[in-house]
Amino acid sequence: MDEVIVVGGGVSGLTTAVLLAERGLKVRVWSRNLDADTASGVSGGLCWPYRIEPQEKALEWAVRSFRNFAWLAEQPAHTGVRLVRGTLEGGAAASVPPEWISLIGSPPRTPIVDMLTYLPYLRGRLTAAGGSWEQRRIGSLAEASARAEAVVDCSGLGARELAGDTGMRPVRGQIVVVENPGVEEWFLSSEAGVPETTYVLPQPYGLLLGGTADEDAEETTPDPATTRAIVERCARVHPALAGARILEERVGLRPYRPRVRLEAETLPDGTPCVHNYGHGGAGVTVSWGCALEAVRLLRPDGGGGHGGDGGVPAADG
């Protein structure tokens, strides 16, 4: 097996493609959307195991990914990854697993990823390893399997059509970007059973405020009333935000599934396929852990190459 097509150009697809290419395979990524239009591109970028099942496996993937993000944070301007201190309140603080606490410390310090920098970084790393990226819409996985010896399905919500997966559900999230009045630490508060969360995330391009989690909602036009509610909640934490200038409103659809689908199968034409989708609100958080498992499912012999967990190759510094 030397040639693989990865379907899906969000963080899961690109991370998996990078690991495969750096192990010597010829990898092509077929993405329906450009970076900013993927669910990953709209993500706030706080590494946190949010709205993902099963929790035990998600924590394992998140811990493995955290180590890679900490490594990538050594070059924040290049990768878009920074380690930033913050505050947890409410249910978010009460539900933190001890394994995660041991990583993020107290007060917590966790990766925040600027997706507008990070996704191009991953594509650049893919290209450096000999892979390629193409904007391409397909109607079935058979279109990919006809062109490669193996397929990796990282299609997110697209798996409803491409893999016939009726378990996939959109969870709509709206966020607001405002001018930063000087906030340097992140804040997160949530309560069990409440779709709204309150979070404040400092990014290089502004302060990102959130958020919402509307199940089975697919409208991607920002709602003005929701924007006002988000700003009001965040202004209770930082009063200066009440008058902050709004730079942008974003809406993304989290690809939620009752359980992440991370498994291998053989497509009808005999082509091996690994599915890696359904990460809910934690696609960035678990990306490296899930990608490594996907690689092992596709190449259980290890397949040569760099090995290890990924991260920053020595050539990149």
The one-letter code for the residue type at 306 is H
Q: Is 58 annotated as a binding residue?
A: no
Q: Is 303 annotated as a binding residue?
A: no
Q: Is 281 annotated as a binding residue?
A: yes
b/e per residue, 130-147, with b = 16+ CB within 10 A? ebebeeeebeebebbbee
Can you give the length of the chain in residues?
A: 317
Q: Is 285 annotated as a binding residue?
A: yes
Q: Is 118 annotated as a binding residue?
A: no
Give the residue from 292, 277, 284 showing the smallest Cα distance to 8.
277
- DSSP H/E element including 17: helix 11-21
Q: Residue 2: which residues within 8 A CB-CB, separation 6 or more?
A: 25, 26, 149
The whole-angstrom separation of Cα 89 and Cα 234 is: 13
Q: Is 295 annotated as a binding residue?
A: no
The terminus-to-terminus CA distance of the chain in angstroms comes to: 30
Whether the Cβ atoms of residue 149 and residue 3 lie closer than 8 Å to each other: yes
Annotated binding site: 199, 254, 280-285
Annotated binding site for FAD: 280-285
Annotated binding site for D-dopa: 199, 254, 281
